[in-house]
Amino acid sequence: MSPVSSNAPHGLSPLRTVQVLGGGNAGSSAHVRSLADGLVARGVRVTVCAPAEADHAYDFTGAGAEHVPVPRSSDPASVAALRAACAQADLVHAHGLHASFRAVLALGGRTTPLVVTWHNRAHAEGARAHLLRLLERRVARTAAVVLGTTSELVDRARRTGARDARLGAVALPGRRRPPGGDPDRPRPKTRAELGAIDRPLLMAVGSLDRHRGYDVLLDAARVWRDLDPMPLVVVAGEGPLRPELQRRIEDEDLPVRLLGTRDDVPELLAAADVALLASRWESRSVLAQEALHAGVPLVATAVGGVPDLVGDAAELVPYGDARALADTVVRLLADPGRCALLRERGLRQAAGWPTEDETVAQVLSVYDELTQPRPLV
């Protein structure tokens, strides 16, 4: 990312921003790291309030930002730490519902502008779903601007009472591999390590949560057992459903491996024959973006922002329809021509997505709208 300016305009102090992050979402964490890179390069002072493990994973300080460790919880001590970190800020930008609500509490009584980015929709059932709606309403009505990563999220923010809701598409930042990682590891070696020699490799990525649709994915895997050679499905991610999913895999003898949390997802994805996204709802799915960037055919549910994101560059199926998912994968594995066409379309679709520079420029224009010139003291 090429810097536009390394200094504040003559006679003005640098814009001081605080980025508030819950730390539980890989997409929003990578986005904040990308923003920190671009904003610091443009002379903006950036403080990132996030759990310590988020800085370890995304190295906000390496981008030139100050990191203030703030736990995810909304207890008084956490909010007080956030309030102190925001004391000298010209603007606060929070990412995700829970981080945004903590920012609202921390800024109570202050006139500091609050920008909120909704990267995804929070999922819950019963009484918790009602609580989330109350949090959404409080955040939407307090924020000066709500940026939604999809048009559906923008509409949701407006319905919830946002004064100003806009589309704020988020670029897919380049993943940062850990020290010692080998980005050029050959594809056959990766497939051999996964146990996918001479058999198709299907890959899904995402936390093992209910809304990801892994129960449907396992239902589809029962169909794939009858193929020769039998495909192997690998799932990179961790979460509360792991014991339940592992039990089904063993009881039903399904060709599925749960890999847990991985830091080599780009290499794993590059080795796959087909990427799978079975979620109940997604906004700008990181997996969908990475699959199209990597030229890997994608089969995804037609939910949320997925259809607009992928266009005609993926096979879309209804959510919850295991038969449609299974049959679509079977057809793809038997049709190299269709796979080649999806690869070509995917690369073309990905070329039209916003770059990191464009994303940073849009965010900075919002900041400029909300802040007045700051004369040097």
Number of domains forming the structure of the chain: 2
- Domain range for 159 is 16-171+355-370
Whether residue 360 is found in the same domain as residue 263: no
Q: Are 225 and 255 in contact (CB under 8 A)?
A: yes
Residue 240 vs residues 73, 210, 212: alpha-carbon distances, Å: 18, 9, 12
Is 180 part of a structural domain of the chain? Answer: no
Neighbours of 139 (CB within 10 A): 27
pLDDT in the model for residue 374: 56
- Report the amino acid identity of residue 368: D
- Can you read off the two tokens belonging to residue 343? 């690869």
CA-to-CA distance for 258 and 127, rounded, in angstroms?
Answer: 31
- Can you read off the two tokens belonging to residue 148? 């939604």
Whether residue 109 is found in the same domain as residue 245: no
Domain of 276, CATH number, reads: 3.40.50.2000
Q: Are 41 and 14 in contact (CB under 8 A)?
A: no
Q: Is 88 exposed, middle or buried (0-12, 13-18, 19+ CB in 10 A)?
A: exposed
Is 221 part of a structural domain of the chain? Answer: yes
Whether residue 191 is found in the same domain as residue 309: yes
Whether residue 123 is found in the same domain as residue 29: yes
Strands 145-148 and 315-317: unpaired
Whether residue 275 is found in the same domain as residue 155: no
CA-to-CA distance for 204 and 358, rounded, in angstroms?
Answer: 29
For 322, phi and psi rounded to 5 degrees?
-65, -35
CB-facing half-sphere around the CA of 341: CA atoms within 13 A: 8
pTM of the model: 0.83
Would you write out the chain's pLDDT as a tens digit for each of its 377 residues? Answer: 434 344 455 446 899 999 999 866 778 898 999 999 999 999 999 999 999 888 998 999 999 999 999 987 767 888 999 999 999 999 999 999 999 999 999 999 899 999 999 988 876 667 788 888 999 999 999 999 999 999 999 999 999 999 999 999 788 876 433 333 344 445 889 999 999 999 999 999 999 999 999 999 999 999 999 999 999 999 999 999 999 999 999 999 999 999 999 989 999 999 999 999 999 999 889 899 999 999 999 999 999 999 999 999 999 999 999 999 999 999 999 999 999 999 999 999 999 999 999 999 999 999 999 997 655 55
Is 11 part of a structural domain of the chain? Answer: no
CA-to-CA distance for 196 and 203, rounded, in angstroms?
Answer: 11
pLDDT in the model for residue 375: 56
pLDDT in the model for residue 23: 65
Residues 6 or more apart whose CB falls under 8 angstroms from that of 354 comprise: 169, 170, 171, 362
CA-to-CA distance for 151 and 189, rounded, in angstroms?
Answer: 41
Q: Is 145 exposed, middle or buried (0-12, 13-18, 19+ CB in 10 A)?
A: buried
